[in-house]
Structure 1
Amino acid sequence: MARRCELTGKATQTGHLVSHSNRKTKTVFRPNLVNVTLQSDALGRSVRLRVSANALRSVEHRGGLDAFLLKAAAADLSVGALSLKRDLEKKLAAN
């Protein structure tokens, strides 16, 4: 399982920890991923996703999962989230 947010695409980054004496040691900065179940109002079902805590705040700020997916770029979404976005667009186009 990749350490990547399924909604924003946020992944691990590498860098250095720099001490007071300016020694540099390699480190890995990982995103704060949480397993959540989000409700899709338009589709009428719940979806389990592994998202970062920052993305969860963004979902709530934009007004829910449906609004977030409609505004998100397709390049950032995972395969599962992208298929969810397509289902959502089909459902809204049918109504």
Structure 2
Amino acid sequence: MSRRCELTGKAVLTGNLVSHSNRKTRRRYLPNLVNVTLTSDVLKRSVKLRVSANALRTVDHRGGLDAFLLKARAEELSQKAVELKRAVQKASVEVAAA
């Protein structure tokens, strides 16, 4: 399992750990990933995703998982999230037509 947020695409960064003597050694900056269950109002079901804490704040800010997915670009999302986005788009069109 890769260390990548399924919603924002945030991944591992690399840099230098600089000691007091100014020695530089490589280190990794890991994203703050959490396993969460988010509910989709349009699909009327819950979805398990591995997202960053930053993405959780963004989902809340945009008004829920459905609003986040409709606004997000497909390049940032994981394959699972892209399929979820397509399902939300399809379901929202059906709800609007009815």
TM bin (shorter chain): over 0.9
1:57 maps to 57
Deviations 1:59-80 (A, max 9, x none): 0111100010001010000000
Residue 13 (str. 1) matches residue 30 (str. 2): no
Unaligned segments of structure 2, at least 5 residues: none
Unaligned segments of structure 1, at least 5 residues: none
Moved over 6 A (4+): none
The alignment of Structure 1 onto Structure 2 pairs a total of residues equal to: 95
Q: CA deviation at 1:44?
A: 0.2
1:44 maps to 44
2:19 partner amino acid: S
Look up the SS of the partner of 1:81 in the other structure: helix
Q: CA RMSD in A?
A: 0.7
Residue 76 (str. 1) matches residue 64 (str. 2): no
What TM-score do the two structures reach when normalised by structure 1?
Answer: 0.96
1:2 maps to 2
Q: CA deviation at 1:55?
A: 0.4
